Amino acid sequence: MTAIINSPAVRQVTAGREFDVTLLGPRFGAEISGIDVATADDGQVRLLREALVEFKVLVLRDQHIDDETHVRLAQRLGETTIGHPVWDSGADVPDEVFALDSSDNGFADVWHTDVTFMPRPPAGSILRPLVLPPNGGDTNWADGELAYESLAEPLRRIADELYAYHDGNREFGYYLRQRRGGVGNLWEGEQVTELTPVRHPVVRIHPESGRKALFVNPGFTSHIEGVSDAESRGLLDIFYAHLTKPEHIVRHRWRLGDLVFWDNRNTVHYANRDYLPQRRVMHRVTLRGNEPFGPSDS
């Protein structure tokens, strides 16, 4: 991919295709213009996929699409997952859609990476709003690669060797037992009936770029393997505080028609819960990912 940088805008040019990219932050995040996802050709979709790896968070405005178009776009970008391993979004949406409705506890006001409590977390997420409050409800993303790069070298060496457990029971265990009767959705070909904690590297290597990122999050990471509880809490507190420093974050203020893609392999995100009693409804589709691997696995 060839990039011609013209701060604060960047134009990406690949194989005769082009669109405008306005940077959201100095190191990651971009607003894309010059593309209609409903009619995009294969070259434009391929370029979007490359831009996602490069910028990690992509914002597209004025994309007034329905669920079916949302799912078709995701299928052109990669293989889609079911909407969520546990959550029931109802019969009114396609199976691939995860509906988050603030009127039904559909909040995401804790820093997290989507579905890291499964062995193969989604590679990417595509989110759009259906109902927005008059103001508030912004979403923030933090860059795990920037956080890893800016850690002190001794801490990077320690992090490279660590593994942590991610536990979906922290957020969805009660819901699975009480509202779903212990029977969740079909995820990766298997019925989810329990949420067994899974082990992932604390530092994840991106399967496409080869770059390293911190891969822990307060939403689902329960503890670090092989250290005491006190040491685990101390290390995770250090990583979380560093990961969510303001210089590692971009923030998006939503408008109807927005479509936001993010790379789930190297970012965490947080949706502000500052708009109640107003309502916020979002629909998300995710792309199937690989099993995370780290420096000690390669």
Query: Catalytic annotation on 269?
Result: yes
Note the pLDDT tens digit of each residue in 101-140: 999 988 999 999 999 999 999 999 999 999 999 999 999 9
Pairing relationship of beta strands 17-23 and 9-14 according to DSSP bridges: antiparallel
Question: Could you tell me if 124 and 263 are in contact, meaning their C-beta atoms sit under 8 angstroms apart?
Answer: yes
What average pLDDT does range 233-243 have in this prediction?
97
Asked, for residue 1, whether it belongs to a domain, the answer is no
Asked, for residue 182, whether it belongs to a domain, the answer is yes
Q: Using the predicted structure, report yes or no on whether residue 5 has a pLDDT greater than 50.
A: no
Neighbours of 197 (CB within 10 A): 16
The catalytically annotated residue of 112, 166, 170, 206 is 112
Report in angstroms the alpha-carbon separations of 260 from 62, 63, 134, 252, 255.
Answer: 11, 10, 19, 9, 11
Helix (H, G, I), strand (E, B) or coil at 206: coil
Asked, for residue 99, whether it belongs to a domain, the answer is yes
Overall domain count for the chain? 1
**Phi and psi based region of residue 115 (left: phi greater than 0; alpha: psi -120 to 50; beta: remaining):** left
The catalytically annotated residue of 128, 204, 252, 269 is 269
What CATH number corresponds to the domain at position 96?
3.60.130.10
Asked, for residue 293, whether it belongs to a domain, the answer is no
Sequence letter at residue 178:
Q
Asked, for residue 3, whether it belongs to a domain, the answer is no
Print the domain residue range for 149. Answer: 10-287
What average pLDDT does range 16-36 have in this prediction?
87
Q: Using the predicted structure, report yes or no on whether residue 13 has a pLDDT greater than 60.
A: no
Query: Catalytic annotation on 200?
Result: no
**Cβ-Cβ contacts under 8 Å for 41 (sequence gap 6 or more):** none
Asked, for residue 5, whether it belongs to a domain, the answer is no
Asked, for residue 160, whether it belongs to a domain, the answer is yes
Token pair in block for residue 166: 């991610």
Query: Catalytic annotation on 284?
Result: yes
User: For the chain, where are the alpha helices, taking DSSP H only?
Assistant: 42-55, 67-77, 144-150, 153-160, 169-178, 229-243
For residues 48 and 261, what is the distance between their CA atoms, to the nearest angstrom?
9
pLDDT band, very low/low/confident/very high, at 17 (cuts 50, 70, 90): low
Average pLDDT, the chain: 92
Query: Catalytic annotation on 206?
Result: no
Report in angstroms the alpha-carbon separations of 235 from 25, 51, 111, 145, 246.
Answer: 27, 33, 16, 18, 20
Does the global pTM surpass 0.75?
yes
Asked, for residue 104, whether it belongs to a domain, the answer is yes
